[in-house]
Amino acid sequence: MAIAEKPPAKKTLTKKQRALEIFDRLTGLYPDALCSLDYETVVQLLVATILSAQCTDERVNKVTPALFARFPDAKALAEADRDELESLVRSTGFYRNKAKNIQGACQMIMEKFDGEVPRTMEELLLLPGVARKTANVVLANGFGTNMGVTVDTHVKRLTYRFGLTNHTDPVRVERDLMKLLPQPEWENWSIRTIYHGRNICDARKPLCGECTLVDLCDRRDVDKPKGKSKRKSTTGKTQSKSTAKSRKSPRTAPVTSTAKKNTAKSTKKSAITKSTSSKSSKKSPKKSPVKQ
């Protein structure tokens, strides 16, 4: 299917108007979109979100049933055997660090917050393994509070590709989105954008021909030119690197018999010098390797 051309009307829209139109269309595409992590309590949501770092939600949802059956709440996770905890979350990747953060967060919840997951951004950020993305997910889906926009890899990529931000740093992307979108829809934007990133707007091969947002999208990093690098020669003409390297070097003058004899003598002298230097180098003490 051919890619739809951007209509002239797009140029008349402000960035905020375009963001709202994109959100309306995403809502039409994914009207029932919800957080795709499986959980029953807020602490389970917190743990699942920590596990989702650099891991798919699908994989996390395969791990958490056994994990929560064995350790269902913050108290159980705080007192869990670390080796057993690591074994249960191993397939999510970075399992040692994740197990450490999950246990540390649950221990802090028990000791500092009376066994309850904190309800503010400031307090959530005190927990090990919790940054703004995890805190936003917990606040929005666990407590119904939108304190920020959840920016994962899909949200970051699509927001930049749409042309709604000039940044790739998640914190800066979040600030830009908070200015463009109404606060009650901050988490809805994230969830629907994630769905669209999975289904249509792939990182490497976006299906622009099937996308209903193409007339509102800047399509950044999609139309990058591909091909062999070229360089200009001294005559001003372009030539490929392979062509330049393949040029033959000029022929040298034939070597005379006298020159050959002189070359042989110098070779013998250099060989003697090398053998002498190698013997002296063996006597010198060895140096210890440099630590890096």
Q: Which residues are known catalytic residues? A: 133, 152
- Reported for 121-128, long-range contacts at CB under 8 A and 24+ positions apart, including other chains, are 121/147, 121/148, 127/46, 128/100, 128/101, 128/104
Residue 170 to residue 233: CA distance in whole angstroms = 43
Q: Partners of 3 in the beta sheet?
A: none
Query: Both tokens of residue 233?
Result: 């020669």
Q: Tokens 């994740």 — which residue?
A: 98
Give the count of alpha carbons within 13 A of 120, CB side only: 4
- The helix (H) or strand (E) run that includes residue 22 is helix 15-29
Q: Tokens 């109404």 — which residue?
A: 182
Q: Which of 127, 132, 124, 138 is nearest to 49 (CA)?
A: 138
